[in-house]
Every structure is written in structure tokens, then in C-alpha cells.
Structure 1
């Protein structure tokens, strides 16, 4: 699959980059994508929720009323879950929501997500660029030139670029990542995927294994 390369002004450079069919033109596996996104979201959960159970409540252990003759149910402790202020039955405890997926499945999920973007014509390849200094205005100009200023966009760089990253950090609808940080969730969460020329080779190297 060949895709035209544009510059940061949105103009065609006259060059085309060859996208590997093994990465950008496979048969998408929806279940692999589902599992990888599910794992990503599960890992975002802190799992610090906690409710006090009966043994953790501070209170008197005195029997609150006599066993018989009251006409009501027996009650032995003010800490009982049936009373207000008592412990909670089977309350939430701190836990880790993460689960394991093998590398081959995660690789398949990312390739499936990239293929979906390519099929939807939501993939743009731009030549490698840099800024002299971190400026949000410069990054906004790039978004406008590429026609993605009103869309949620994800820029993938071949190598870390501090000026480009800092220029995008204040924008809620755009994110800049390196090829090693790319995830299935981030690909699908963006309406437009912008790859730099340097990132294409890196992605194919990582995902073609």
C-alpha cells in the first residue's frame, strides 16, 4: 500500500511511502482488539476502593439488648451490618484489575487497529519535522494545515522530540507519542492517525516480528 507523504503545511512532497501489508493491510481481528483495549482500560483503574467490614468497625461489643422477650430479632453487636454505622457485608477491597495478554495477541491487536485506520482513510503520513522552540501555536498551525484541527488526533514520532511533545501538551484533542508508546486504545481513540516518515519504519520493525 502506497501513501503520499505531505509536509507540515499539508502540501504533497511528491514522495510516497510503502506501507507494509503485513502491518497495515491484514484481516482485522476484532476480538484481539477488544481484549487489548480491555486490558489497557483495566490497567488505568487504581483499585484503591475499600469499605470497612464488621471486624474493622470501632464500637462496643456489649450485647445491645436481651436475647428474649423483646418481640424483635436477636441482636448481639452494634457493629452488625444490619444496623446503621455497622460494617459492610462483602465490601470492596483493594485489588489489581490488570490481567495478562501474550505479546503475539497484543501485536495482532495493534496491527488490526492500524489496518482499520488505513481502511477508513484516517491515516496521514507527514515528513519528519521539528520546532525551534516549544510553541502551542506552531503545533496548531500543523493541525490546521493537515485538516485535523477539529478532530481528535494522534501523532506518532519515530524518536522522542521534546519541542513537538511540549507544543502539543496543552491541547486536549491531540496527543504525541513515540512508536514504542503506541497502543491499540490510543489508535482507536483518535479520529485521525498522523505518522511521521521515521515512525513508519519503526512500527513495521516492531510489529512485523
Structure 2
């Protein structure tokens, strides 16, 4: 699959690059994508939720009424969850939501995500660029030139570039990562995936 290389002004440089069919042209495995996205979202959960149960409630331990003869249900503790102010029955407890996935499955999921975006013509290849200093306005100019100012975009760099990263950090709709940090969720969450030329070699090996 050949794709034209654009410059930061959105103009065709006249060069084309070959995107590997093993990464951008595979048959999409929906279940692998589902599992990888599920794991990504699960790993982001803090799991610090907690509700007090009856053993943790402060209150009297006196039996609140006699066992028989009241005409109502028997009750032994004011801390029971059936009473107002009582403990929560089967409430949430702190837990870890993360789970393990095989490396092979995650590779299939990432390739499926990239193939999905490629099939929908949402992949752009841009020549490498840099800023002398972090400057959000300069990054916005790049987005406007590429027609991405109102779209969620994912910029994939070949290696860490602090100036480019800091220039995009304040923008809600733009995100910058390196090819080593590429994830199924990030790829599918973007309207457009912008690959810098230097990132292609690493992406072809994921």
C-alpha cells in the first residue's frame, strides 16, 4: 500500500512510502480489538471505590426490638443494611481491574486497528518536523494545514521529541506518542492517524 508523503503545510512532497500489508492490510480481528481496548480501559480504573459495610458502621449493638410478637420482621441490629444509616449490603470494595493478555493477541489487535484506519483512509504520512522551542501556535498551524483542527488526531513520532510533545499537550483533540507507545485504543480513538516518516520502520515491526 503506497501513501503520499505530505509536508507540514499539507502539500504533497511528490514522494510515496510503502505501508506494510502485514500491518496495514490484515484481516480485522474484532474480538482481539475488543479485548485489547477492554484491557486498556480496565487498566485506567483506580479501583479505589469503597462503601462501609455493617461491621464498619458506628452504632448501638443493642437488639432494637423483641424477637417475636411485633407483627413485623425480626431485627437485631440498627446497623443492618435494611435501615437508614445502616451499612451497605454487598457494597464496592477496593480491587484491581487489570488483567493479562498475550503479546500475540495484542499484536493482532494493534494491526487490526491500523488496518481499520487504513481501510477508511484515515492514515496520513507526514515528513519529520521539529520546533526550535515548544510552541502551541506552531502545532495548531500544522493541524490547520492538514485539515485536522476540528478532528481528533494522533501523531506518531519515531522517537521522543519534547518540543513537539509540549507543543501539542494543551490541545484536547491532538495527542502525540512514539511508535513504541502505540496502542489499539489510541489508534481507534482518533479520527486521523498522522505517521511521521521516522515512525514507519518501528510501526512495521509491531
- What's the TM-score, normalizing by structure 2? 0.97
Partner of 2:69: 69
Partner of 2:204: 204
How does 1:7-86 map onto structure 2 within 5 Å?
7-86=7-86
Consecutive unaligned residues of structure 2, counting only runs of 5 or more, are none
Provide the secondary structure at the position in 1 that maps to 2:193. strand
Cα deviation for residue 146 of structure 1 reads 0.9
Q: How many residues align?
A: 206
Partner of 1:195: 195
Measure the CA separation in 1 of the matches of 2:68 and 2:147.
79
Cα deviation for residue 93 of structure 1 reads 0.7
Cα deviation for residue 69 of structure 1 reads 3.0
How does 1:110-149 map onto structure 2 within 5 Å?
110-149=110-149
Cα deviation for residue 72 of structure 1 reads 2.3
Cα deviation for residue 66 of structure 1 reads 2.2
Cα deviation per residue 1:129-158 (whole Å; 9 max; x = unaligned)?
000111111001101111111111000000
Cα deviation for residue 73 of structure 1 reads 2.2
Provide the secondary structure at the position in 2 that maps to 1:3. strand
Cα deviation for residue 91 of structure 1 reads 0.9
CA RMSD of aligned residues (A): 1.0
- What's the TM-score, normalizing by structure 1? 0.96
Measure the CA separation in 2 of the matches of 1:124 and 1:130.
17
Q: Write out the 4+ residue segments of structure 1 that deviate beyond 6 Å after TM superposition.
A: none
Cα deviation per residue 1:33-81 (whole Å; 9 max; x = unaligned)?
1111111111111111111111111111111122233332222111111
Partner of 2:159: 159
Measure the CA separation in 2 of the matches of 1:153 and 1:7.
16
Provide the secondary structure at the position in 2 that maps to 1:121. coil
Cα deviation for residue 178 of structure 1 reads 0.6
Cα deviation for residue 14 of structure 1 reads 1.5
Cα deviation for residue 200 of structure 1 reads 0.6
* Further displaced range: 48-57 or 153-162: 48-57
Cα deviation for residue 180 of structure 1 reads 1.1
